[in-house]
Chain A
Amino acid sequence: MAVTHERFEQGMTYDEYKVQMTRNRERLEENERTVELSADDIEFFTNLPEPLNVLVITEDWCGDAIANVPILGRLAAESGKLNLRIFLRDQNPDLMDHYLNRGIHRSIPVFAFFDQQFRPIGHWIERPAVVTEMQEKMLANLYATDPAFADVAPGTSIAVLPDAARARLMQAFAAFRAETRLLADREVVRELRDVISRGLALHQEA
């Protein structure tokens, strides 16, 4: 499925998306306000050879989307080089199924980059890879060392986890998110730069 100019323009602008949000708008705007972008990052996007069209698939109930869409929003505002159109995942299955995570998961957010002729440059899904790896390590360490997880196998469903272990897991996730936010934000920008750089280089070679 090729994304056409007409299909792209059916999406919402970033401001239109924020206006129609029914939840988490305050969190999204707080993340947008507080994300730390380096001068080098802003320069990279400002110096893009042409403005890019960015198709965003998201939903306002998704934690990864509330964390990462505003980073893209700030990059667009600071650089003036990213033309965003937002699509809600559950109302646009044709788009979502084109960007499945590992070919099966409808993970969001999705950021798909196109040049002015709507030739694909590359896309980015959900969260930085390093954050997923760190989360898996945090969980493995928790299960191995925390007394609340004695005799509990890693990967045990929350539905059969002892209450003390579940409470401990919730605390650990909250602490992990707080401790890794700065790194996660930087990794999002680094991965986006990498996706765009590689895609533009391939276009130049072609």
Chain B
Amino acid sequence: MDIDNGRHPPKIKIVYCASCGYEPQTLELVSALMHAFHYDIASIEIIPWQDGAFDVAVDGDLVHSMYRDGGFPAPEAIIKAVRERLAR
């Protein structure tokens, strides 16, 4: 088991609007990230919020914002952002 292969594993935060019923999209993204990265990420933090939010940050960089970018992110887009962070 190679925990981080010498790299700094990124921390991911997912903010979802709990009053909007966005749990399925949140869990779909979490599942995609878990299957894509296994031990290569430090953590996935899920933050229930409100006001229609569905935002994703990787190591403090906002990689998707429903308000800024519109809609839900494709899990592939978030996986790509995490891969880019791992490659640094």
The smallest beta-carbon distance between A67 and chain B, in angstroms, is 11
Contact between A157 and B57 (Cβ–Cβ < 8 Å)?
A: yes
Contact between A61 and B61 (Cβ–Cβ < 8 Å)?
A: no
Q: Interface residue tally of chain A, by bracket?
A: 10 to 19
Number of residue pairs across A and B with beta carbons under 8 Å? 42
Query: How far is A107 from B9 in the complex, measured between Cα atoms in Å?
Result: 38
Using Cβ atoms and an 8 Å threshold, which residues of chain A touch B52? Answer: 105
Using Cβ atoms and an 8 Å threshold, which residues of chain A touch B13? Answer: 159-160
Contact between B20 and A160 (Cβ–Cβ < 8 Å)?
A: no
Main secondary structure of the interface of A (DSSP, over half): helix
Using Cβ atoms and an 8 Å threshold, which residues of chain B touch A63? Answer: 19, 50
> Which residue in chain B gives the minimum CB-CB distance to A24?
B19
> Which residue in chain A gives the minimum CB-CB distance to B61?
A160
Contact between B15 and A159 (Cβ–Cβ < 8 Å)?
A: yes
Name the one of A59, A157, A160, A166 contacting B21, with C-beta atoms under 8 angstroms: A59
Query: How far is A80 from B7 in the complex, measured between Cα atoms in Å?
Result: 68
| B29 at interface by CB-CB < 8 Å | no
**Would A160 and B19 be within 8 Å (CB), given that A105-B52, A173-B50 are in contact?**
no
**Would A62 and B19 be within 8 Å (CB), given that A158-B53, A159-B14, A173-B50 are in contact?**
yes
Those 9 A-B pairs whose CB atoms lie nearest each other, nearest first: A159-B57, A159-B55, A63-B19, A157-B55, A158-B15, A159-B15, A159-B13, A160-B57, A61-B21
- Having A62-B21, A158-B53, one finds 11 other A-B pairs with CB under 8 Å, namely A59-B21, A61-B21, A63-B50, A105-B52, A157-B55, A157-B57, A157-B62, A159-B13, A159-B55, A160-B60, A160-B62
